[in-house]
Chains A and B, each alone.
Chain A
Amino acid sequence: MEEQLHAAVAAILRQYDHRRGNLLPVLQAVQARLGYLPPEAMEQIASAFGVPPVDVYSVATFYAQFRLKPPGRHQFKVCLGTACHLMGGHTVLDCFERRLGIKEGETTPDREFGLERVACVGCCALAPVVVVDGRVEGRVSPTRVDGLLLSFSLEKSRRETPATPTNGGGGSPYGA
């Protein structure tokens, strides 16, 4: 596992020269590959760039894009820009938090769902907006949140059906 991670980061590092200006692109590429920035990866990048690991860490923690923990299989980004705020974005975030039992910035224990907030995705005429696995959903209502979660938990139980014939949706928001 650790070796795989090392090899993946090394492969990305080979694509860039290690001038400081390339630090952000490298971090972005590593996150795109691994889904987040594990400490080992940051150390490896630091030594390639010839800077202390804390420099890499300070950059990674400055920018909202970088995750230091693994994301969920499905990632929800609830937009809380001005238009979404006025049109009830917080209610949508509340719905996700309650149904998933996690707060924004967290991932469900089964790593099925991750929840984030985002400052604005620029689709203000469709507020409130949620980005679901990179796809923009407009005019999201509390009932739509349930619909989304239901379709994902159905997908999950289908995926797991061969191994566990019943009770497949362990991480289902409807479990309780």
Chain B
Amino acid sequence: MGAPKIVRVGLATCGIAAGADKVFQALAQELTGQQDVWLKQTGCLGMCHNEPLVEVLTPAGESYLYTKVTPEKATDIARRHVLGGEPVRDWLFDDGHYLAKQKRVVLRNSGRIDPESIDDYLEAGGYQAIAKALREMTPEQVIGELEKSGLRGRGGAGFPTYLKWRLTRQSPGRPKYIICNADEGDPGAFMDRSVLESDPHSVLEGMLIAAYAIGAREGYIYVRAEYPLAVKRLKLALAAARERGFLGENILGSGFDFDLKLREGAGAFVCGEETALMMSIEGKRGMPRFRPPFPAESGLWGKPTSINNVETYANVPWIILNGGEAFAQYGTERSKGTKVFALAGTITRGGLIEVPMGITIREIVFEIGGGIRSGREFKAVQIGGPSGGCLPASLADTPVDYESLTQAGAIMGSGGLLVMDDSACMVDVAKFFLDFTVKESCGKCTFCRLGTKQMQAILQRITNGEGREGDLELLEELANSISRASLCGLGQTAPNPVLTTLRFFRDEYEAHLYEKRCPAKKCRALIRYQVNPDRCNGCGLCNSYCPTNAISGEKKRPFSIDQNLCTHCGLCFNVCRHEAISVN
């Protein structure tokens, strides 16, 4: 029997949402029972824009990637290519630059292995790093290797990982805990979801190594409840690791004991903050507490605790196996290694990418992302979610590293990278993030609780065309006070989206304020929808959707909108198939 052909289907949440489960069934129907064909589920290859994805690997190691596969296409691919031996050329993916500029460390196994199979992970070199650490390295040597690598926390703040580990190790209290922060709450960020859905064991292995280095015997993974598939695959991974003796007592005969508990978050953004997260694990309201003492001294239940995020842990096994220097050869002087970004917005090729630090925003947007989808103009990127900022197209040559981004007014953040074209209103975007922080503020600090509400009210009236003289200055004053007088990262960074848009897009604020005009035609109170009689064929679809019956007319004749009744919801604009509705 020769080597089998392998057919892989990406079954992460994005793939499933695009119909990959039906594609898998269609393939299974054709291929089950076939000799020398191995149909596998796998995680995310990162090309969300092209889901569902099917990859055919020949015994000789050639790879053929099919994109946007439907169940019908899958049947054809199974018959013509897998069984017939003839690739269906028309449907093959032309790689372009999507993968060429990327370097996969964290995502090394994503889209390649079956995330529900520990054997797949082992075959890909899994659990060799922990074996190496236990057999050949002292805990101090492990930490030394991390120091050489220059790895910094990937959750956003960028604290050196080795230092966090060393401080926790040296802290006198017992027992010590480690925590994996998988409470990925930034809207527009899905790096951790994808890693957990595609390669959960790499995170567990990273945690094992951390536990060995720190001297912890117990750990927690705190994962967002909105990620049911990640939770399911983590549970499977934990059970498999326990069964194979990678978790539990006397791991690999080394005398090292360690076990992990899974905790599901309950939908509070602030729990991504480390002290709030620990309060939540303790069964309380997730409200941050004052630091110092830092968790390394007094964390979970007052014991020394080291807390890192998913991506940070996923880097660790690679660093131990390949050495800190190998990792440090990627990146810039002070930001080493790679970073995973969730690329979304009005971009041609959205998805999950991993790039060496120091790459420019322009390279990400145009060479990897393929530029703006609509053919419109590239306007800005929002980086770092509600704590980050909007950088204009003119700063597209900013290198992506911790220092450069901070200097430009944004932050690295956890990795959400949202691309916007000129149809995005920056005042509206700032208001969106502020609405979010107002909702998610835990209420502990007055400035965060009430200050953000005041900022929201000001933005609301500006977008309503009711802005007042001095509003922009007042926004800035409030922003600075909130940053200074809030305890945790949520409040300290909440004004960033407003501050950066004020800095780079002040003219848009002024247009709203003084001219009562929304240049991007987004703010409802400042726009008018009209029917263009030349394009309207009188189908009446808009009329049937209009919530206020503002649209009237006779079938087959141009309709019209009563401006007194119109609430500017934009539904007619969205449903019209003839582009007959214009917005001014």
Which residue numbers of A lie inside 8 Å of B, CB to CB?
19-25, 27-28, 58-59, 62-66, 80-83, 85-88, 91, 94-95, 98, 118-127, 129, 134-138, 141-143
Q: Confirm or deny: B70 has a beta carbon within 8 angstroms of a beta carbon on chain A.
A: no
Contact between A120 and B344 (Cβ–Cβ < 8 Å)? no
- Considering the complex, give the chain A residue whose CB is closest to the CB of B433: A82
Does the CB pair A82–B188 fall under 8 Å? yes
In the bound complex, what is the Cα–Cα distance between A122 and B230 (angstroms)? Answer: 11
In the complex, A62→B285 CA distance in Å? 6
B575 close to A142 (CB less than 8 A): yes
22 contacts between A and B (CB under 8 A): A20-B284, A59-B283, A63-B286, A64-B266, A66-B266, A82-B418, A83-B187, A83-B188, A86-B418, A91-B574, A94-B571, A118-B226, A119-B267, A120-B188, A121-B226, A122-B190, A122-B227, A124-B344, A125-B14, A125-B350, A126-B14, A136-B17
Q: Given A82-B433, A123-B17, A136-B16, output 15 extra A-B contacts at Cβ < 8 Å.
A: A20-B284, A28-B225, A59-B285, A81-B187, A83-B188, A83-B345, A85-B432, A87-B346, A91-B571, A94-B571, A95-B571, A122-B194, A124-B190, A127-B344, A142-B545
* A122–B286 CB distance below 8 A: no
Chain A's closest residue to B266 (CB) is: A63
Quote the shortest CB–CB distance from A80 to chain B (angstroms). 8
Contact B185 A120 (CB under 8 A): yes
The 6 tightest CB contacts between A and B, nearest first, are A122-B190, A125-B48, A81-B187, A63-B266, A64-B267, A124-B344
Q: How many residues of B contact A (CB 8 A)?
A: 61
- Contact of B358 with A by CB under 8 A: no
Q: Which residue of A lies closest to B269 (CB)?
A: A119
Q: Is B184's CB within 8 Å of the partner chain A?
A: yes
A23 and B266 CA atoms in complex are apart in Å by: 12
Please pick, from B346, B440, B547, B570, the residue contacting A98 in the complex, using a CB distance under 8 A. Answer: B547
Residue ID in chain A nearest B421 by CB atoms: A86
Determine if B574 and A122 form an interchain contact, defined as CB atoms under 8 angstroms apart: no
* A94 and B266 within 8 A (CB): no
CB within 8 Å of A: which of B259-276? 263-269
A80 to B281, CA, bound (A): 27
Residue of A whose beta carbon sits closest to that of B577: A143
Contact, CB under 8 Å: A125 / B49: yes
Nearest chain-B residue to A82 (Cβ)?
B188
CB pair A94–B547 under 8 Å, yes or no, is yes
| Given known A-B contacts A59-B283, A127-B344, A143-B575, A122 and B189 have beta carbons under 8 A apart | yes
B569 within 8 A of A: yes
Judging by beta carbons under 8 Å apart, are B432 and A126 in contact? Answer: no
Chain B residues near A59 (CB-CB < 8 A): 283-285
Q: Is the CB of A138 within 8 A of B267?
A: no
Residues of chain B contacted by A124 (CB below 8 angstroms): 48, 188, 190, 342, 344-345, 350, 416, 418
A125–B228 Cα gap in the complex (Å)? 18
Question: Does the CB pair A126–B18 fall under 8 Å?
Answer: yes
> Inside 8 A of B285's CB, which chain A residues have their CB?
58-59, 62
Which of these, B14, B226, B269, B569, contacts A94 with CB under 8 Å? B569
- Residues of A with C-beta under 8 A to B286: 62-63
Number of A-B contacts (CB under 8 A): 150
Q: Using Cβ atoms and an 8 Å threshold, which residues of chain A touch B281?
A: 21
A51 to chain B, nearest CB (A): 9
8 Å CB contact of A86 from B17, B18, B345, B575 = B345
* A82-B382 in contact (CB<8A): yes
Interchain CA distance A83-B193 in the complex, whole Å: 16
Task: Give A79's nearest chain B residue, CB to CB.
Answer: B187
- Tell whether, in the assembled complex, residue B17 and residue A129 are in contact, meaning their CB atoms are under 8 Å apart: yes
Q: Please, how many angstroms separate the alpha-carbon atoms of A134 and B194 in the complex?
A: 17
A87 to B420, CA, bound (A): 10
**Do A122 and B268 have beta carbons less than 8 Å apart?**
no
Residue B215 lies at the interface, judged by CB distance under 8 Å to chain A: no
A21 and B283 within 8 A (CB): yes
Q: Which residues of A contact B284 (CB under 8 A)?
A: 20, 59
B385 CB–A CB distance under 8 Å? yes
Task: Please indicate the chain A residues that have their CB under 8 angstroms from the CB of B18 in the complex.
Answer: 126, 138
Collect the chain B residues with CB atoms within 8 Å of residue A25's CB.
263-264
> Is the pair B269, A28 in contact by a Cβ cutoff of 8 Å?
no
The closest CB in chain A to the CB of B541 belongs to: A143
A91 to B576: give the CA distance in the assembly, Å.
Answer: 14
B387 part of interface (Cβ distance < 8 Å): no
Chain B 232-266 against A: per-residue CB contact (8 Å), 1 yes, 0 no?
Answer: 00000000000000000000000000000001111
Q: Determine whether B335 belongs to the interface, using a CB cutoff of 8 Å to chain A.
A: no
Q: Nearest CB to that of A126 among chain B residues? A: B17
Q: B424: CB under 8 A from chain A? A: yes
Q: Please determine whether B436 and A119 come into contact, CB atoms closer than 8 angstroms.
A: yes
B282 at the interface (CB under 8 A from A): yes
Q: Judging by beta carbons under 8 Å apart, are A65 and B266 in contact?
A: yes
A52 to B194, CA, bound (A): 40
Inter-subunit contact B571/A63 (CB<8 Å): no
A142 to B571, Cβ gap below 8 A?
Answer: yes
A100 to chain B, nearest CB (A): 12
Name the distance in Å between B213's Cβ and chain A's nearest Cβ: 25
B312 interface residue per 8 A CB criterion? no
**Are the C-beta atoms of A64 and B268 separated by less than 8 Å?**
yes
Q: Which residues of B contact A22 (CB under 8 A)?
A: 283
- Please, which residues of chain B bring their CB within 8 A of the CB of A24? 263-264, 266, 280, 283
Q: A119 near B420 (CB under 8 angstroms)? A: no
Is B13 a contact of A136 with CB atoms below 8 Å?
yes
Distance, CA A122 to CA B382, complexed state (A): 16
Nearest neighbor of A22 in chain B, beta-carbon distance = B283
Are the CB atoms of A82 and B267 closer together than 8 Å?
Answer: no
B219 at interface (Cβ–Cβ under 8 A)?
A: no
CB-based nearest A residue for B352: A125
In the bound complex, what is the Cα–Cα distance between A81 and B424 (angstroms)?
15
With a cutoff of 8 Å between Cβ atoms, the chain B residues found around residue A64 in the complex are: 266-268
Closest Cβ of chain A to B566, distance in Å, is: 14
State whether B187 touches A120 (Cβ < 8 A): yes
